[in-house]
Structure 1
Amino acid sequence: MKILSWNIRGMNSCHKRDIVRNLARDHRMDIFLIQETKMSKERVEKIKFFKFCESQGSSSNGASGGAVTLWNSHFIQGVPFCHDDNHIATLFKHIRDGFSWILFNIYVPNNKVSRRKFWARVSSFCCNHPNAPWLVIGDFNTPLQETDKFGGSQIQLDSKQDLADFINDQCLIDLDLTKASFTWSNHRIGAELIQVRLDQALISIDWLQRYSCSLNSMIKVGSDHYPISLMVEPKGGQRRKFPFRFEKMWLSHPSQYNCVKEWSIQIDGITLFHIAKKMRFVKKMVKKME
């Protein structure tokens, strides 16, 4: 299964809708999440793209917000749950294996008060559905780590902390981008260049137990945001993974100290999240050593 998410920064023009159609045709995703359509719910749900037979939209608030979730009903069944101008929640069910899960297509507000109310609404919804595996994908409007931003002013601590608290409270996992570090750029040159990872994907532990997930950044077109794609594959179809074993020869490798540096990095969140994140970094370093 392939899920694509993109902050389009307005979909009123024919040119933007043509870009969406081309993305849908060329990348053949099963679910397409679009943020900041800047259109009404009724209007955006009338637009049909490629093989997407079903859609759920939310209206914009003036010239900002608005979203739409599109899916291929021949592969997956979708039931709309709830929506507002900053998120859409949809219950999906795979036709092939019957697995059900909840997907949030989100555009997080920039305003401090609105942002905290938003996270409170999403958290309340999740607490009311504790047994459902779920994904949160979209434009989070803030980076989670200092390394998620290059250039410009420092990250606002309150917005970063609000996101970290949500992740910790709901025991979610932040998926790393595998082919890029940032999803937004102001396209300036030199000292004026700013790049940030604003578009992200969070998954519940239930997902990791069942699926292997890979998050990638795509080529930017028609917006200052890069589309991101989430590839989801059943773990049963993968080759068997062998248990980790320490190799004594690694102690003589010239890059061994880089692993120590990776373990000593500062990460926000609960202890379990610290360990999981650091193990992921060290694993990458060990693979390079091998």
Structure 2
Amino acid sequence: MGDFNAISSLSEKEGGNPTPSRYIDEFVSLMEDLEMADLGYHGPAFTWSNNRLGAANIRERIDRVVANVEWLNLFPLVSVDHVTTPSSDHVALAVYVFGKVDSGPKPFRFHEMWTKDPSCMDVIKHCWRTHVHGSPSFIPNSKFVEMQSSLRVWNKTYFGNIFSQIKKR
């Protein structure tokens, strides 16, 4: 986290000369290469200002907090606030982690890109075709729980690292 002295889109700057698109593209490409995600923010849109008046004023979002997937899995409740400070031309970045999440089961998330691999549908069909005894509400729930478990195993075994798959496509 901190002052990157770079913007990731034209909307992150007001005033002054336009930032050349190649600088923006290079910054965005670097974040992608490092597999880092911007954590967003609450508060003022711009994190730096030259504090001039009128048309001479320039404001940019050059301070940010980024993290990789592994960090976000440890701290899924993270939030970032932009806090104005009278003594600086930058806002303060306040990061709220809400404590480390225990290593218990993580919520199931279906990733759309799994559908690009034909074996994903085979896993789903196999789970829903499995014969289960029980009440009308127990049967689909049981199949859904089995599908979640099977897809997690399939993802690790066949699909592998999500970021490396994205780079291949």
Give the TM-score band, short-chain normalised: 0.5 to 0.7
Q: Which residue of 2 aligns with 1:225?
A: 90
Q: Which residue of 2 aligns with 1:153?
A: 17
AA partner of residue 179 (structure 1)? G
Q: Which residue of 1 aligns with 2:33?
A: 169
Q: Name the CA shift for 1:236/1:138 in 2 (closer, same or farther; >3 Å).
A: closer
Please report the TM-score for the alignment, with normalisation by the length of structure 2.
Answer: 0.55
Do the aligned residues in 1 keep the contact of 2:51 with 2:57 (CA within 8 Å)?
Answer: yes
- Which sections of structure 1, spanning at least 5 residues, go unmatched? 1-136, 244-271, 273-290
Q: More helix per residue: 1 or 2?
A: 2
SS in 1 for 2:97: strand
Please report the TM-score for the alignment, with normalisation by the length of structure 1.
Answer: 0.33
Q: Which residue of 1 aligns with 2:64?
A: 200
Residues 226-277 of structure 1, C-alpha deviation per residue, up to 9 Å, x if partnerless? 111111124748xxx8x9xxxxxxxxxxxxxxxxxxxxxxxxxxxx7xxxxx
AA partner of residue 85 (structure 2)? K
Percent of matched pairs sharing the same residue: 28
Residues 11-63 of structure 1, C-alpha deviation per residue, up to 9 Å, x if partnerless? xxxxxxxxxxxxxxxxxxxxxxxxxxxxxxxxxxxxxxxxxxxxxxxxxxxxx
Shift of 1:181: 0.5
Larger Rg: 2
Where does 1:88-167 land on structure 2 (aligned, <5 Å)? 137-167=1-31
AA partner of residue 218 (structure 1)? V
Distance 2:90 2:20 in 1: 20
Residues 126-181 of structure 1, C-alpha deviation per residue, up to 9 Å, x if partnerless? xxxxxxxxxxx111111111111111111133332221111111211011121120
Where does 1:66-81 land on structure 2 (aligned, <5 Å)? none
Aligned length: 107
Distance 2:92 2:59 in 1: 14
SS in 1 for 2:98: strand
Q: Which residue of 2 aligns with 1:5?
A: none
Residues 175-213 of structure 1, C-alpha deviation per residue, up to 9 Å, x if partnerless? 112112011012223322211011111100012212121
Do the aligned residues in 2 keep the contact of 1:210 with 1:234 (CA within 8 Å)?
Answer: no
Q: Which residue of 2 aligns with 1:190?
A: 54
Distance 2:17 2:43 in 1: 25
Shift of 1:219: 2.0
Distance 1:214 1:181 in 2: 15
Q: More strand per residue: 1 or 2?
A: 1
Where does 1:222-261 land on structure 2 (aligned, <5 Å)? 222-234=87-99, 236=101
